[in-house]
Homo-oligomer: A and B are copies of this chain.
Amino acid sequence: LDTVTLKLVTIVAERILKDRVVEDVLNAGARGYTISDAYGKGSRGVRASEWEGPDVKVEAVVSQEVADRILKHVSTTYFKHYAVIAYTETVEVVRGDKYI
């Protein structure tokens, strides 16, 4: 089976940030994304308080380089004022060449 090792980037953010995060992901070089609804609660670096409310989960399969770019941008742009989680996982993707 012909697979490629890539990164799955997941960003969970307040739902009002959906369009901005999607644009960020594409600008960083992702060739596509998947979004889904979620609901979150917790201490996510938001100053002085906890977040609880509707979230959006944005996922993209990308190269390590694009993953780093997304995470850097997201952390720099949103972490200070918004409830945002961002992480990467290693995935084995079929026909990985179409993601890079």
> Interface of A with B (CB < 8 Å)?
1, 3, 6, 8, 12, 22, 30-45, 50-51, 55, 57, 61, 68, 71-72, 74-75, 79, 85-95, 98
Contacts and interface: CB of A to CB of B under 8 A. Distances in A.
Residue of A68, A85, A95 with highest tally of chain B CB at under 10 A: A85
A74 to B, nearest CB: 7
A86 B75 contact: no
A53 to B, nearest CB: 11
A85 B71 contact: no
Nearest to A51: B32
Contact of A68 (B1, B6, B34, B50): B1
A8 B41 contact: no
